[in-house]
Amino acid sequence: MNNMTLSPRLQKLVDMGESGTNILHGELKNLMLDAEQSYMQGESKYHEGMLDAYATVYQLTYELAFAIGERREARG
């Protein structure tokens, strides 16, 4: 049973047919910006760690998007 619900903004992207990697990529950009702003305001080392974690997953979304694109091109 799925008890999770997406925000209306994310659900709209799903309904429009946007890929999961693109949605995740965009959401991570927002999360990185929030964490960076909090860290720059001196809120805590926690935000620095969160920024590093988000950046790592953000890079993974790029790698996945390119790998998927290359696979599609290879299939013709």
Instruction: Output the pLDDT for position 44.
Output: 82
Structure-model confidence comparison of residues 56 and 47, the more confident one? 56
Distances in Å between the Cα of 47 and the Cα atoms of 9, 34, 55 are 24, 9, 12
Whether 37 shows a pLDDT value over 50: the answer reads yes
> Whole-structure pTM over 0.85, yes or no?
no
Q: Give the pLDDT confidence of 4-30 residue by residue, as tens digits.
A: 889 999 999 999 999 998 999 999 999
Instruction: Output the pLDDT for position 2.
Output: 62
Query: How far is Cα 68 from Cα 30, in angstroms, rounded to an integer?
Result: 23
Amino acid at 47: H
DSSP 19: -
Q: Give the pLDDT confidence of 52-71 residue by residue, as tens digits.
A: 999 999 999 989 989 998 99
